Chain A
Amino acid sequence: MPSPAETEAAMAAALLDPAEPGPADARFAVHRNNVLVGLVDALGETFPAVRALVGEEFFRAAGAAFVRAHPPESPVLILWGGAFPDWIAAFPPAAGVPYLGDVARLEWAWTEAYNAAEATPLAAPALAAVPGERLPDMRLVLHPAVRLVASRFPVASLWADVTGRETGLRPELAQAETALVSRPYDVVSVRAIPTASAAFLSALAGGHTLGAAAAAGTAEPGFDLAAEITALFQAGLVAALATETPGVDHGPLG
């Protein structure tokens, strides 16, 4: 007679591995099915655009392979799937859809933004109170929900197209896009931003000073610092101003 520990171990081994016999009772198939279907469904809730792009049949097969490779380690399934974008990008049967990994990255950023900690967006006058000569040394702490997804494909347009938030334009695949994902209040927003804005924002997100971030933006064409800062506050992307850690910041460009 097996001990309870042996019984459980034999069942667990067989849940995701068809080669393991599991319990003799043929109705154990119900649990195998529950586990796989339930986890692939959970993955599909987090990655609806990937699911729509590849179709249900492909998604279920790919999802099952992912579940076996990266089963959840925590019962908090809303936060499971962070490994999926890199995994699907390298999944040989999906090689014909080269932008799939980036769309998945955008969906993961969406999930992170949706569940991110709350913070009250700072209003623009907060910055106006800072003396001009100190501005370059300021750090703008971005809202915890802000994410940037850079892609050599039009990732934000593809995502909008697939999820029904149509832009009316057919994405031109040769065009690179950086998607800005945010959730200052209760709605997640996703939009494509210009290269200069992306350089500026990534520098801020990386903890660089306003001066260093401005230098990164200026390195790209069409950068307008005043307009960028106004837009940043208007979109509710700034959570706090920080003046600590003074010193030389050589910026993201080195």
Chain B
Amino acid sequence: MKAPAFPGPADTALPRRAGVGFKPRHWPAIDRGDPDVGFFEVHAENYMGAGGPPHRMLESLRSRWPLSLHGVGLSIGGEGRLDSEHLMRLRQLIDRYQPAGFSEHLAWSSHGGIFYNDLLPLPYNAGTLSRVAAHIDQAQTALGRRLLLENPSAYIAFAEATMGEIEFLTDIAERTGCGLLLDVNNVYVSAVNQGFDAAAYLDAFPLHLVGKIHLAGHATETGPEGRRLLIDAHDRPMDDAVRALYARLVARTGPLPTLIEWDNAVPAFHMLLAEAEAADRIMRTAEAPRHAVAG
């Protein structure tokens, strides 16, 4: 096996605090209020126009807070070749804004020249493992930095899967040197939808590879056969069950860069800030006993 091009622990230049997803409609409140948040995260694809207000806002944001860049369109989990034009656009954005971190998804979103704007799942087996690893190698080389790969929300199950998600993610990270973005809400959504234990999943997760956490709210629907079906909707505060899983997690890891995602039914900025403050409090609580032991 060849040595990873981007070795090293999953350290991150992002502060070990809570950050929030940036929405342009919040810019006046952010610009005036100068909020004390750890970082802002933006979706890379929203800043791929030539110029205009998006870049003007991002420049100002970047000069005042650490920035995390999150891609939603690279289709790393896809069967086809990575879109080299898209990689070039990402590279330009990274060169221009020098974000503290870049992350993408273990999913596909493009097929046959069409972009579906959804994070679509893939079966986990030896074939998809080498394909995803090759895509990450290519992306990390093109972007000149390591990326964090995010665990998806799962709805459907695949008969052809031969590996578990944790084994798959760990192997990918070992082969490519990439880090992992652990989305605790996605873990909970997948656990309910596919009938596994979210706490046990987190206990088994390779936490030393985690460079960032995502937290979000989900919707509850009724799926086939009347079973509970959770949807990764990002349209409300995080669920109590997700909050509890997060508290349990950071009690083990200590504080980690933690993003509050809220992309639909976006509330006033102070609501996002309140979610971030809640995550910061959970991290401080988790930290306290360690200090007591160390002191």
Q: Which residue numbers of A lie inside 8 Å of B, CB to CB?
A: 1-5, 7-9, 11-12, 15-16, 23, 25-28, 30-31, 34-35, 38-39, 42, 71-79, 113-118, 144-145, 183, 186
Contact = CB atoms under 8 A, between A and B. Distances in A.
Given A4-B131, A12-B116, A26-B223, A78 B46 contact: yes
Contacts of B85: 74
B122 interface: yes
Top 9 nearest A-B pairs (CB, nearest first) are A75-B73, A115-B49, A26-B224, A12-B111, A25-B156, A117-B50, A118-B51, A34-B118, A27-B155
Given A72-B115, A114-B49, A1 B156 contact: no
B92 interface: no
A116 B46 contact: no
B79 A35 contact: no
12 contacts: A4-B79, A7-B122, A11-B111, A12-B114, A28-B155, A30-B229, A31-B155, A72-B115, A76-B89, A78-B48, A114-B49, A114-B52
B151 interface: no
Contacts of A115: 49-52, 54
Contacts of A8: 78-79, 108, 111, 120, 122
Of B48, B125, B157, most A-chain CB atoms within 10 Å: B48
B254 interface: no
A191 to B, nearest CB: 19
A5 B117 contact: no
Contacts of A4: 79, 122-123, 125, 127-128, 131, 160
B45 interface: yes
A2 to B, nearest CB: 6
B72 interface: yes
Given A16-B116, A25-B157, 13 more contacts: A4-B160, A8-B79, A15-B120, A38-B118, A71-B116, A72-B117, A73-B115, A75-B73, A75-B86, A77-B117, A78-B45, A113-B52, A118-B52
Contacts of B122: 4, 7-8
A87 B95 CA distance: 38
Contacts of A39: 116-117
B115 A74 contact: yes
A3 B157 CA distance: 15
B264 to A, nearest CB: 8
Nearest to B57: A186
A77 B45 CA distance: 7
A69 B122 CA distance: 26
B120 A11 contact: yes
A71 B114 contact: yes
A75 B72 contact: yes
Contact of B114 (A73, A79, A114, A116): A73
B157 A31 contact: no
A38 B120 CA distance: 13
Interface of B: 45-46, 48-56, 72-75, 78-79, 83, 85-86, 89, 108-118, 120, 122-123, 125, 127-128, 131, 155-160, 193, 223-224, 229, 231
Given A27-B223, A35-B116, A75 B110 contact: yes
A78 B49 contact: yes
Nearest to B73: A75
Given A27-B223, A30-B231, A35 B118 contact: yes
Contacts of B193: 27
A140 B228 CA distance: 63
A73 B108 CA distance: 14
Contacts of A42: 117
A27 B112 CA distance: 23
Nearest to B223: A27
Given A4-B123, A8-B79, A116-B52, A76 B45 contact: yes
B196 to A, nearest CB: 15
Nearest to B230: A30
B248 to A, nearest CB: 27
Given A4-B122, A8-B122, A23-B156, A75 B115 contact: yes
Contacts of B111: 8-9, 11-12
Nearest to B221: A30
Contacts of A31: 118, 120, 155-156
Contacts of B78: 8
Contact of A28 (B45, B72, B123, B156): B156
A90 B85 CA distance: 32
A186 B51 CA distance: 10
A183 B56 CA distance: 13
A9 B108 CA distance: 11
Nearest to A3: B127
Contacts of B110: 75
A7 B127 CA distance: 12
Contacts of A76: 45, 48-49, 73, 89
